[in-house]
Chains A and B, each alone.
Chain A
Amino acid sequence: MLSRVADSCFWLSRYIERAESSARILDVNIQLVLDSEDQSANGANDLWRPILSTLAEQELFESQHGELNGDTVMEFVTFEKANSSSILSSVTLARENARTVREQISSEMWEQLNRLYLHLQSPAARAAFRESPIGFYRSLVDQFHSFQGITDATMTHGEGWHFLQAGKYIERADATSRVLDFKYHVLLPSEERVGGNVDITQWMAVLRSCSAMEAYLKLFHGRVTSWEVAGFLILHDSFPRSIRFSVDALDQALHSISGSERGHFSNEAERLSGMLRSTLDYTTVDSIFQSGLHQYLDQTQTRISEVSRALAQTYCSWL
Chain B
Amino acid sequence: MLPPRMKGFFGHYETGGFFDEMFEADGTVRPHYSKILERFSEMDSASFESKRALAEKTYLNQGITFTVYSGDEGTERIMPFDLVPRIIPADEWRLIERGLEQRLRALNLFLHDIYHDQRIVKEGVIPLEIIRTAKHYRPELVGLDVPHDIYIHICGSDLIRGADGTYMVLEDNGRCPSGVSYLLENRQAMKRVFPKLFSRHAVRSVDRYPQELLEVLRYVAPQGNPDPTVVVLTPGIYNSAYFEHSFLARSMGIEIVVSQDLVVKDACVYMKTTKGLKKVDVIYRRIDDDFLDPTVFRKDSVLGVPGIVNAYREGNVNLCNALGTGVADDKVTYYYVPAMIKFYLGEDPILPNVETYLSAVDSDRKFILENLENLVVKAANESGGYGMMIGPSATREEIEKFRAAISADPRGYIAQPVISLSRSPCYFDGKFEGRHIDLRPYILMGKKTTIVPGGLTRVAMRKGSLVVNSSQGGGSKDTWVLDESEATC
Taking Cβ atoms with an 8 Å cutoff, the residues of A that contact B are 1-6, 96, 99-100, 102-103, 107, 110-111, 114-115, 118, 159, 257, 315-316, 318-319
Contact = CB atoms under 8 A, between A and B. Distances in A.
B259 to A, nearest CB: 11
A114 B62 contact: yes
Interface stretch (B271-279, B363-371, B426-434): B271-279
A2 B246 contact: no
B195 interface: no
26 contacts: A1-B273, A2-B255, A2-B261, A2-B273, A3-B261, A3-B274, A4-B258, A4-B261, A99-B242, A99-B246, A102-B250, A103-B249, A103-B253, A107-B250, A110-B63, A111-B61, A111-B62, A111-B63, A114-B61, A114-B62, A114-B63, A257-B274, A316-B274, A318-B263, A318-B272, A319-B272
Nearest to B58: A111
Nearest to B246: A102
Interface string B245-289: 011011001111110110100000001111100000000000000
Contacts of B247: 102
Contact of B62 (A4, A6, A107, A159): A107
Nearest to A257: B274
Contacts of A110: 62-63
Given A4-B272, A99-B237, A257-B274, A319 B260 contact: yes
A315 B274 contact: yes
Contacts of A316: 274
Given A2-B273, A99-B237, A103-B250, A118 B60 contact: yes
A62 B60 CA distance: 37
Nearest to A159: B274
B461 to A, nearest CB: 23
Contacts of A6: 274
Contacts of B274: 1-3, 6, 159, 257, 315-316
Interface string B322-352: 0000000000000000000000000000000
Contacts of B63: 99, 110-111, 114
A103 B261 contact: no
Contacts of A1: 273-275
A319 B263 CA distance: 12
Contacts of B237: 96, 99-100
Nearest to B232: A103
A300 to B, nearest CB: 27
Given A3-B274, A99-B242, A114-B61, 5 more contacts: A1-B273, A4-B261, A99-B246, A103-B250, A316-B274
Contacts of A2: 255, 257, 261, 271-274
Interface of A is mostly: helix
Contacts of B273: 1-3
A111 B254 CA distance: 20
Nearest to B63: A114
Contacts of B62: 107, 110-111, 114
A46 B246 CA distance: 48
**Majority secondary structure, B binding face:** mixed
A118 B61 contact: yes
A12 to B, nearest CB: 13
A191 to B, nearest CB: 51
B189 to A, nearest CB: 14
Nearest to B271: A2
Of A2, A3, A96, most B-chain CB atoms within 10 Å: A2
A3 B61 contact: no
B246 A3 contact: no
Contacts of B255: 2, 5, 103
Contacts of A100: 237
A270 to B, nearest CB: 14
Q: Which 4 A-B pairs have the closest CB atoms?
A: A103-B250, A103-B249, A102-B246, A315-B274
A154 B140 CA distance: 48
A19 B260 CA distance: 29
A319 B259 CA distance: 11
Contacts of B256: 103
A51 B249 CA distance: 43
A1 B231 CA distance: 12
Interface in B202-224: none
A167 to B, nearest CB: 14
Contacts of A96: 237
B35 to A, nearest CB: 31
A175 B126 CA distance: 70
Contacts of A315: 274
A118 B63 CA distance: 10
A159 B275 CA distance: 11
A99 B246 CA distance: 8
Contacts of A118: 60-61
A100 B272 CA distance: 16
Given A2-B257, A103-B246, A115 B272 contact: no
Nearest to B252: A103
Nearest to B257: A2
Nearest to B274: A315
Nearest to A106: B250
B159 to A, nearest CB: 31
B472 to A, nearest CB: 25
| Most chain B CB inside 10 Å of its own CB: which residue of A3, A103, A111, A159 | A103
B269 to A, nearest CB: 14
Contacts of B261: 2-4
B434 to A, nearest CB: 33
A110 B63 CA distance: 8
B9 to A, nearest CB: 31
B109 to A, nearest CB: 35
A309 to B, nearest CB: 16
A315 B260 CA distance: 15
A212 to B, nearest CB: 34
Nearest to A115: B61
Nearest to A163: B274
